Amino acid sequence: MTFEKIQGLIDAPFTPFLPDGEVNLEPIPAYAAMLQKNGLKGVFINGSSGEGYMLTDDERKRLAEAWVKAAPEGFKVIVHVGACCVRSARELAAHAAAIGAWGIGAMAPPFPKIGRVEELVKYIEEIASAAPGLPFYFYHIPAFNGAYLPMVKLLEAVDGRVPNFAGIKYTFESLYEYNQCRLYAGGKFDMLHGQDETILPCLAMGGARGGIGGTTNYNGRELTAIIDAWNRGDLEAARDHQNFSQEVINVICRYRGNIVGGKRIMKLIGLDLGPNRTPFQNVTDAEEAAMKAELEAIGFFDRCNRL
C-alpha cells in the first residue's frame, strides 16, 4: 500500500479539561481553526502532549470524534491509539477508521517495556490490522517508554509485513539515524520529524518534508516559517526562526516542559485549555506570571500563534 506523504507540520494538541478534570470538547472547533490559520496541516491527537495515557478509552473516542467533526477542509486528523492493553489499542484504531480519521499512530507502551524489534513489530502489526485502510505511524519517543530500538531495523522488519505501515514520527536526538530511515528503500516510508528544536538541521541533512510538533500549538508561525525560509533559500531567516524557537523551548523547560508549561501558554494567547491531570503538577499563578514575563522579554507575543 502507498499513502500520501505529509508535507508541512502537524500539531500535537493538548486535551482541554474543565477545572474539575473532566474532558472539555467545547474549545476544539476554535482550536482547530486557530491551528489551520497559523499554518498547521493537521493534528495528531491523544498522544503525549494530549495526556493520552491518562484518558479513558471512552474519552479518547469522544475527543477523536470531536476533532474529526471540527477539522477544516483538508486538515488531517491522526489519532494516537497506543495503549498498554493491545485490545484497547485495536478498538481505538477501528473506531478511528469508522469516524473518518485520516490516519492512526502508536508509541511503544510504557509497560511492559519493549526490548526487541520483533516485540515492537508484533505490537504494531496487531494494532495496524484493526484499521487496514488507514496509514499507521509508529511514534518513536524512547524517552517516554524506554524503547531504545534501532529504527532502520524496525523498517526492515515491517516492510512487506504490515501493509499499512506509513512511517515514523521520529522524536529522538539522532539525526544520523533519522536520515538513514529517510533513505531506506529509496525513501519508501514517511519520516515525520518530531523535535521542534532541530527542524532546520533535519531539513539540511535529512531532507525532511513533514513533521509533528508540540510547541506548534503556540509557536506554529515560527516553526512553519523555518520550512518556508528554507524552501525559498533564505538560510539566515531559517536560522533566526529556529533560534527563536529554541528560546521559547528554553522558557518552557523551566516550567515543566511543553505538556505543563506549554499548555498554560495557550491561556496566555487566549485559548484556555484548563489544567493538567494528576500526577502532573500544574503551573501556579506565580509561575504563570513569571513565565509570561520571560516570554515577553524575548518578544514571544509578537511572533506567536494568533486566534
Tell me the catalytic residues. 139, 169
Q: What angle do CA 68, 73, 74 make, to 5 degrees?
A: 90
Phi, psi of 44 (to 5 degrees): -120, 95
Q: Which residue from 202, 218, 213 is spatially nearest to 251, judged by alpha carbons?
A: 218
Q: In angstroms, what CA-CA distances link 14 with 161, 165, 267?
A: 33, 25, 12
Q: Which residue from 40, 51, 52 is spatially nearest to 88, judged by alpha carbons?
A: 52
Q: In angstroms, what CA-CA distances link 93 with 45, 61, 81, 135, 205?
A: 13, 10, 6, 11, 34
Partner residues linked to 105 by β-bridges: 80, 137
Q: Which residue from 220, 219, 215, 192 is spatially nearest to 80, judged by alpha carbons?
A: 192
Q: CB-based burial of residue 99 (10 Å sphere; 0-12 exposed, 13-18 middle, 19+ buried)?
A: middle
Which residues are CB-contacts of 25 (< 8 A; sequence separation ≥ 6)? 16, 62, 63, 66
Q: What is the largest CA-CA distance in the chain?
A: 54
CB atoms under 10 Å from CB of 57, counted, come to: 16
- In single-letter form, the type of residue at position 149 comes to L
